[in-house]
């Protein structure tokens, strides 16, 4: 049994939707389950953390946590949606040190608040960039006009 099968059987209660091609796996989970799922993939399966993609969609802020299962040649992406009006999710940086920067970046560009992030200060937006403007948001974040 390989890691993909392990993943499917061990997390079967948490997986909402599963899509798989020869080299890519995408699956959806609830945002509350993200630390558990990510912790399992990173620590138990030993997958390589690649990056997190954040994007604003009509369904809310979509987050994709990408991992490499390199010896299988597969990229596994865990998908979750966060309420766009009050975007908040548990940080995975306490589990994966390498996620520190990307969570800070998503905080900068989409305004997601990562709970329990050890150091959620600005990474890429300029020091004088306004507090309540998020360049990759589709909707106005404070009702004060368009973004960016």
Partner 1 sequence: MGNRTVIPIGPYHPLQEEPEFFRLWVEGETVVDIDVNIGYNHRGIEKLCELKTYDQIPFVVERVCGICSTSHPLAFVNAVEDLADIEIPERARYIRSIIAELERIHNHLLWVGLAGHFLGYNTVWMWAWRYREPVLDILEKITGNRQNYAMMKVGGVRRDIEDADIPDILRLVDDLVPAVDMFKGAILDDPVLHARLKGIGVLTKEEVHNYGAVGPTARASGVAVDVRRDDPYAAYDLVDWDVVTQEEGDVFAKAVVRVLELYESVKIVKECLERLKKTKGEIDVKVKEIPSGEGIGHAEAPRGEVFHYVRSDGTNRPIRHKIKSPSYTNVPTFKATVIGGTISDATITLAAVDPCYSCTERVAVVDKKTGRRRLNGEDLVRLSQEKTERIKRSMGL
- How far apart CA 132 and CA 118 sit, in angstroms, is 21
What is the β-pairing status of strands 74-82 and 88-90?
unpaired
Cβ proximity to partner 1, 30 vs 119, nearer residue: 119
Interface positions with partner 1 (CB under 8 A): 23-24, 26, 46, 48-51, 53, 55, 64, 66, 68, 70-71, 73-75, 77, 96-102, 122-126, 135-136, 148
Residue 32 vs 44, nearer CB to partner 1:
44
CB of 126 to partner 1, least distance (A): 7
* 135/140 with CB nearer partner 1: 135
Q: How far is the CB of 1 from partner 1 (least distance, A)?
A: 20
């Amino acid at each position: 049994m390989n890691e993909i099968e392990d993943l499917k059987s061990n997390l079967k209660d948490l997986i909402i939707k599963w899509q798989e091609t020869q080299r890519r796996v995408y699956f959806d989970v609830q945002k509350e389950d993200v630390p558990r799922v990510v912790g399992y993939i990173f620590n138990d399966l030993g997958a390589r953390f690649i990056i997190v993609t954040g994007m604003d969609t009509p369904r809310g802020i979509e987050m994709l946590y990408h991992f490499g299962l390199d010896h299988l040649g597969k990229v596994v992406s865990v998908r979750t949606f966060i309420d766009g009006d009050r975007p908040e999710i548990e940080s995975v940086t306490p589990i994966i040190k390498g996620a520190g920067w990307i969570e800070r970046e998503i905080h900068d560009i989409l305004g997601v608040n990562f709970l329990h992030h050890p150091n959620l200060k600005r990474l890429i937006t300029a020091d004088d960039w306004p507090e309540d403007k998020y360049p990759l948001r589709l909707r106005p974040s404070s009702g004060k006009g368009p973004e960016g």
